[in-house]
Chains A and B, each alone.
Chain A
Amino acid sequence: MEQGSCLFLWMGQGRITIMYDICIIGAGVTGCAIARELSRYEADICVLERCEDVCCGTSKANSAIIHAGFDAQEGSLMARLNVEGNRKMDRLAKELDFPFRRNGSLVVCLHEEELPVLQALCERGVRNGVEGLRILSQKEALEKEPNLQNTVAGALYAPTGGIVCPFLMTIALAENACVNGVRFRFDTKVMSVEKADGFYRLETDRGMVESRYVVNAAGVYADVFHNMVSRHAIHMTPRKGEYFLLDRRAGTHVSHTVFLLPGSMGKGVLVSPTVHGNLIVGPTAVDIDNKEGTNTTREGMDTLAAQAGLAVRDIPLGQVITSFSGLRAHEDGHEFIIGEPEDAKGFVDAAGIESPGLTSAPAIGSMVAELLRERMDLQEKNGFVAKRKGIVHPLDLPEEEQSALIRDNPAYGTIVCRCESVTEGEILDAIHRPVGARSLDGIKRRTRAGMGRCQSGFCAPRIMELLQRELSVGLEEITKSGGSSRIVTGRLKESTMERSEKNSQEGEA
């Protein structure tokens, strides 16, 4: 499956071999941010993604937080890119039209004797270049966030902390890259990367791909690809984080992102509103072996339930609408690895992108693009489109505009997902726009249909029907999230159908 503006090059006896200037492995937020920045230049660029859509790995299952940048070690790449990424976010969100809000974050200190640790964190933040940091007294903290535990000793307030929709951010970056000529090849798993004479050969499960430069944005698999081309091995540990997502009724329980001061109580979990008005609680942090281990666990849920209330009181855990788990790509050195290994020129890592990876993505994108621009002597292209419009949600519009929209396109007058009030018009747009949705999860990430309290119980059959009609495929082909995740396994009365189809064929003959 390929979505993009250029055509395949057919060579040999029906075997596809394509030579790109740059191949990016992985269509997560990092890969898409890099693709978008590179799409400013004249180059033949392709993103290879093993899943059927962008944003299918770590990017889809995280805290959705734009970190202020006081956490990372001074002088680290992490600290620099975090603060830089944070600063870029307002403009990027505006240009690409995705939801982002600076709701501010609070690091809560529960014990007086830990206040010096809070102070140190604040000072580190200042040195990292974080603006507006302030230590709040108990009274100030409770005024800002009334549902904090009354026993709070103090809090670090970071006004630049924010929340974002990681799906829409990744999708926006990808769509914009696609509009600017980057090709996306989904359901394409890279099996091996091999150095050749002046280029790299990537063997995929859909044929060979050749590229002069390769960007490794493969998330928890980045070490695998890196180690294929470099003797300086890196090692990534999937670090599992489990989350609860609560109903919108609970979405105003806190208005800031509330962290617990790392300390004697362990790392703790954060409690935050999401840009869509839900409440998120998490993550846990457990190192595992399995790079596919995105299952939630009883232990993880118990941990969340036990730790959720440490900093914030009375969290209505009865209103959990779903729980999920994501894997952070934790590199042994706990630092972003960005650049070419010295023994693998032309192969650019963007590895070890764990938290604050989402925040840093725009800065990582710029950094990698700049690196390749210099190395490849890339020229800016004419007609780069910097702006992208998101899917219009009619209910966000003033009434007159709503009515006009429905008059022009009645599909906007039909609600398909009741819980999130998503219209048919939005779903059709999600399917037909660049890098469009092809699965229920693809629709969900783009429109929120199925993300509400009924978790797609009502709208799934409707959305399947729309996907079937618009993509001209059988309902049996519709998947939840690509691969073998088919929703239905067959039609009823299959034997009857075959017979009636046969009859009608005979009739035609």
Chain B
Amino acid sequence: MEKRELTCICCPRGCMITVVTDGKNIGEVNGYTCRKGKEYAEKEVISPVRTVTSTVRILGGERPLTSVKTKTGIPKDRILACMQQINGIVAEAPVRIGDVLLEDVAGTGVPIVATKAVRPL
């Protein structure tokens, strides 16, 4: 078992949480001040996830790109693979907020969705 120290990101408070873990199981958790913080720390140690945001090129739109995000968090170690696929997407205007531009990014099962509308030219 090792002791991992991490900064909680659930709210601006930023508690310092220590988690005792062997990488698969959670031991003692200390330093959190709310339930969300404890959950975050446990999850962050076993299977950290991140929302990835970027932009995607748009053809025929009034602007050259739209912003996008992974609809939910994806495993942290898939971020770079995710970016590679995002870089490969080209969509056509119009685009609405929430439009799925890629069904399953980097084998995570998570879609890439537009976060900004782009009207056609």
Chain A residues at the B interface, C-beta cutoff of 8 Å: 492-493, 495-497, 499-500
Contacts and interface: CB of A to CB of B under 8 A. Distances in A.
Interface size class of B (residues with CB under 8 A): under 10
A492 B55 contact: yes
Contacts of A499: 88, 90
A492 B86 CA distance: 11
A499 B90 CA distance: 10
Contacts of B65: 492
A493 B56 CA distance: 8
B71 interface: no
Contacts of B89: 496
A286 B31 CA distance: 58
A383 B87 CA distance: 59
B73 to A, nearest CB: 23
Interface of B: 55-57, 59, 65, 87-90
B57 A500 contact: yes
A495 B59 contact: no
A476 to B, nearest CB: 14
A492 B83 CA distance: 12
Most chain B CB within a 10 A radius of its CB, from A492, A495, A499, A500: A492
A493 B86 CA distance: 9
9 contacts: A492-B55, A493-B55, A493-B57, A493-B87, A495-B87, A496-B57, A496-B90, A497-B57, A499-B88
B46 to A, nearest CB: 33
Contacts of B88: 495-496, 499
A500 B90 contact: yes
A492 B57 CA distance: 9
Nearest to A493: B87
B87 A496 contact: yes
B32 to A, nearest CB: 38
Most chain B CB within a 10 A radius of its CB, from A495, A496, A499, A500: A496
Grouping DSSP codes into helix (H, G, I), strand (E, B) and loop, the B interface class, with mixed when no group exceeds half, is strand
B114 to A, nearest CB: 15
A505 to B, nearest CB: 14
Contacts of B57: 493, 496-497, 500
Contacts of A492: 55, 65, 87
B90 to A, nearest CB: 5
B52 to A, nearest CB: 15
A42 to B, nearest CB: 51
Given A497-B57, A500-B57, 14 more contacts: A492-B55, A492-B65, A492-B87, A493-B55, A493-B56, A493-B87, A495-B87, A496-B57, A496-B88, A496-B89, A496-B90, A499-B88, A500-B59, A500-B90
The 6 closest A-B pairs by CB, nearest first: A493-B87, A500-B90, A493-B57, A496-B87, A496-B57, A496-B88
Most chain A CB within a 10 A radius of its CB, from B59, B65, B89, B90: B90
Nearest to B64: A491
B58 to A, nearest CB: 10
Nearest to B90: A500
A495 B85 CA distance: 11
B6 to A, nearest CB: 31
A495 B87 CA distance: 8
A496 B85 CA distance: 10
Contacts of B87: 492-493, 495-496
A493 B89 CA distance: 9
Contacts of A496: 57, 87-90
A56 B100 CA distance: 51
B15 to A, nearest CB: 35
Contacts of B59: 500
B119 to A, nearest CB: 19
Most chain B CB within a 10 A radius of its CB, from A493, A496, A500: A493
A497 B57 CA distance: 8
Nearest to A500: B90
A499 B89 CA distance: 10
A406 B8 CA distance: 54
Contacts of A495: 87-88
Most chain A CB within a 10 A radius of its CB, from B59, B87, B89: B87
Contacts of A500: 57, 59, 90
A500 B90 CA distance: 8
A125 B59 CA distance: 69
Nearest to B55: A492
A499 B56 CA distance: 14
A140 to B, nearest CB: 60
B71 to A, nearest CB: 20
A469 to B, nearest CB: 14
Nearest to B56: A493
A251 to B, nearest CB: 39
Contacts of B55: 492-493
A461 to B, nearest CB: 13
Contacts of A493: 55-57, 87
A322 to B, nearest CB: 32
A66 B90 CA distance: 58
A493 B101 CA distance: 16
A289 to B, nearest CB: 47
A76 to B, nearest CB: 60
Nearest to A492: B55
Nearest to A503: B90
